[in-house]
Amino acid sequence: MIITKKALPRRTFLRGMGASLALPLLDAMIPAATAASATAALPVKRLGYIFMPMGCDIGRWTPGGTDGKLGELSPILKSLESVKSHVTAITNLELRTAYPGSHATSNAAFLSAAKAKHTESSDYYLGTTADQIAAQQIGHATQLPSLELSMDMLQTTGQCDNGYACVYQNNLSWSSPTTPLPSEAHPRIVFERLFGEGGSLAERRAALRKRASLLDWITEDIASLRRNLGPADRAKVAEYLDTVREVERRIQKAEADVAKNNLPADLDRPLGVPASYADHARLMFDLQVLAMQGDITRITTFQLARETSNRTYVAETGVADPHHPLSHHGNDPEKVARMAKINAFHVSLFAYFLERLKATPEGNGTLLDHSLLLYGSGIGNPNVHDHTNLPVLVAGGAAGGMKGGRHIRYKEPTPLANLHLSLLDKVGVKLDRFGDSSGKMDEIFQPLSV
């Protein structure tokens, strides 16, 4: 790699032996002769979506607060206390396009605000999702236009829910009404997609035996780069590379743990997936932080679990009930309380993600300052498959035009599509309408009155 006195391109890569590593935003990427060189490098804007399945106990979700201010956090949201100033809770959003109520339409409508065609076959039809509209307009600036992640290793097929094809529950992102985008749950595959060459699963497994670490192949480029950076940029690069190494270490440890299992040699067991759901989820969030920090992508989606998931969270919550049956609680107070523990656990993972973004400097702020993130579900009360009064949070920073620490309550049910329209607008995607939207929600980005 040749370094000159010219500013480094924003999309600078270190390359070696088929691997490539994008760098975080550095002061050296600002032209020396520009006025901007006197200040921190200008950041990009990012958009992320995190999907929580099967609604929640809205009573334990809804926070306090008057006059638009976010008051005491509710039991489900308590883990967000350290990032409360970056979070806005929104009450009384709805997904009319998800009716007649079902789990399939909840998942399908969450990012599309479109009505899913009722079919069990391959003639499914939905709509282009908000993340893909953003990816089509601003995704060309990055290595990956978008990144689709999930926690479920296996895709279900056929008919999954009330005569709806499983494709509606498997996929959050659709690049067209007939093109669902599969998500990836395997951390090693995600890592190699971000930083390494592609290839088949067999080729990836062979590569694992040959490659100790991505960073080992680019040491010469790293040394050359460091010689041409200032102290602040050298520290920033070192911190970023340490984070990459730590993610690699955790993936390799997970692979070693799997290898120790007493299983038949011919069992097709995935490699590199932590045994703990919480460890797996946090690792997937760490990969998203790296993808954002390296500007590999600016659009992400993450499905914490598929609708109708029967996953249990005993280790994390002490609740032994499978999630889906528990969500149909029949208003039994004890079951509702147990479901709320699962809801709170999922929110704690989102809090972890926000804290990681907040702890990662970029330009004159942090990654969290330069991101807009939507966390929520397409179901309000799961006991009756209700798509009104959805549990929804928006998080981010002032660089995206957002001031957190507020609770916005709408008197009348308001389309979730209005929020999608507003978030797209803030990252430079201008639309007149989206789905069943009735207008933008500019109040989310206006300062609180004193």
| CATH architecture under which domain 13-21+42-191+275-445 falls | 3-Layer(aba) Sandwich (3.40)
Give the other-Cβ count within 10 Å of 430's Cβ.
Answer: 8
For 408-427, write each residue's pLDDT tens digit.
999 999 999 999 999 999 99
Considering only the C-alpha atoms of the chain, give the largest distance between any 2 of them, rounded to a whole number of Å.
Answer: 68
Q: Tell me, what's the pLDDT at 81? A: 97
Asked if 261 and 109 count as a contact pair (C-beta separation under 8 A), the reply is: no
For 2-56, write each residue's pLDDT tens digit.
334 456 665 566 665 455 666 777 777 766 545 444 334 456 689 999 999 999 9
Asked if 226 and 25 count as a contact pair (C-beta separation under 8 A), the reply is: no
Give 156's contacts (C-beta < 8 A, 6+ positions apart): 166, 169, 170, 306
The 3-state secondary structure of 219-279, one letter per residue: HHHHHHHHHCCCHHHHHHHHHHHHHHHHHHHHHHHHHHHHHCCCCCCCCCCCCCCCCCHHH
Q: Tell me, what's the pLDDT at 205? A: 52
- Ranges of each domain in the chain: 13-21+42-191+275-445
Residue 96 CA to residue 111 CA, distance in Å, equals: 13
pTM: 0.82
Q: Tell me, what's the pLDDT at 225? A: 79
Indicate whether 121 pLDDT > 90: no
Q: Binning pLDDT at 50, 70 and 90, where does residue 195 land?
A: confident
Higher pLDDT among residues 262 and 171, named by residue: 171
Q: Binning pLDDT at 50, 70 and 90, where does residue 336 land?
A: very high
For 199-234, write each residue's pLDDT tens digit.
454 554 555 455 556 666 666 777 777 788 888 788
Indicate whether 352 pLDDT > 90: yes
Beta strands in 8-144 (DSSP E): 13-16, 19-22, 46-51, 87-94
Element (H, E) at 160: strand 159-161
Q: Tell me, what's the pLDDT at 140? A: 83
Q: Binning pLDDT at 50, 70 and 90, where does residue 265 land?
A: very low
Strands 147-150 and 299-303: parallel
